[in-house]
Amino acid sequence: MKHIAVDLAKSVYQVAESVRSGQVVQRKRLNREAFRRYIQEQPEPVEWVMEACGTAHYWGRLAQSLGHRVKLLHARYVRPYRRRNKTDRNDCDAMLEAARCTDIYPVPVKPHEQQLLQQLHGLRETWKKSRTQRINLLRGILREAGIEAPASTAAFIRAAHELVDRPELAPLSALLHIVLTEINLYEQCMAECEQQLKRGFAGSAAMPDTHAGKVDAVTALGC
């Protein structure tokens, strides 16, 4: 079976084809659309070797849907096989060498639904960090004005509107209410993410063999 290593990038894809171990018979540099056609135009099944990055799972699913084999390798396993400097060409050669090692276990290609769940978690964490930054900003301003605020996040948010209206902060009151509006927006965004995550896990309850179903079975996860 032919092996094709692909170094994925934002717009340019370096490809190295190998039919015999240790020998590259052809190299290409393709844009996104040309790479898509390149996958679709393969006359027979091949093994695609890529580093396990976010976009690799998309291309892996596409290749699998066309009957190809896909091997995704963690970058730390590819690194020892790279010779000389880090270039797209050398990365492809390193992937071909690493793919031959039977002791290296490939990363499974993630289903689209699993990636969506991960992206929901990522969105929630991003909004949580932004909310925390603004809460800490308000805490610092209140502390410098000698105003005591509740320690817990929930109690602080409930009391914040009255605290920023204190006479000591009158010149900043309008701006501080903008910060509070941002905090409330992030709260709403986080709540929407949590609802979607619950719906996603609820939909997997009847399918215990799915990724989400297995995770949902872990006691106390997400508490």
Count of structural domains, the chain: 2
Q: What is the pLDDT of residue 209?
A: 53
Between CA 7 and CA 30 the distance in angstroms is 10
Phi, psi (5° rounding) for residue 156? -65, -45
- The answer to whether position 105 is within a domain reads no
- Cβ neighbors of 215 (< 8 A, separation 6 or more) are 201, 221
d(CA 78, CA 67): 25
**pLDDT digit string (tens) for the chain, length 223 residues:** 899 999 998 889 999 999 887 789 999 999 999 999 999 999 999 999 999 988 999 999 999 999 999 999 999 999 999 988 889 999 999 999 999 988 899 999 999 999 998 999 999 999 999 999 999 999 999 999 999 999 999 999 999 999 999 999 999 999 999 999 999 999 999 999 999 888 876 665 444 455 555 545 543 334 3
User: Residue 35 has which token pair?
Assistant: 């790479």
- In one-letter notation, the amino acid at residue 160 is A
Same domain, 82 and 26: yes
Say if residues 116 and 61 touch (Cβ distance below 8 Å).
no
What pLDDT shows up at residue 211?
52
Pair (118, 73) in one structural domain: no
Rounded Cα gap, residues 184 and 188, in angstroms: 6
pLDDT of residue 155: 95
Q: Which of 99, 126, 142 is the last residue of a domain?
A: 99
Q: State the pLDDT at residue 199.
A: 83
DSSP state of 210: S
Chosen domain end from 68, 99, 130 = 99
Asked if 13 and 6 touch (Cβ cutoff 8 Å), the reply is yes
Q: Among residues 99, 127, 151, which one ends one of the domains?
A: 99
Q: Are strands 47-51 and 69-73 parallel, antiparallel or unpaired?
A: parallel
Q: What CATH number does residue 43 fall under?
A: 3.30.420.40
Q: Are 145 and 82 in a shared domain?
A: no
Token representation of residue 152: 């817990």
Q: Quote the CA–CA distance of 198 and 153 in Å, as a whole number.
A: 23
pLDDT at 206: 45
What average pLDDT does the chain have? 89
Q: Within this chain, do residues 83 and 177 fall inside the same structural domain, yes or no?
A: no
Report if residue 205 sits inside a domain. yes
Domain that holds residue 78: 3-99
User: Rounded to whole angstroms, how far apart are CA atoms 77 and 94?
Assistant: 9
Query: Do 58 and 15 belong together in one domain?
Result: yes
Could you read off the pLDDT of 71-114 as tens digits, one per residue? 999 999 999 999 888 899 999 999 999 999 888 999 999 999 99
Structure tokens at 71: 């091997």
Does 122 lie in the same domain as 60?
no
Do 87 and 170 share a domain, yes or no?
no
Question: Does residue 148 sit in the same domain as residue 54?
Answer: no
User: Quick one: 130 and 208 in the same domain?
Assistant: yes
What is the C-alpha separation between 220 and 223, in angstroms, rounded? 6
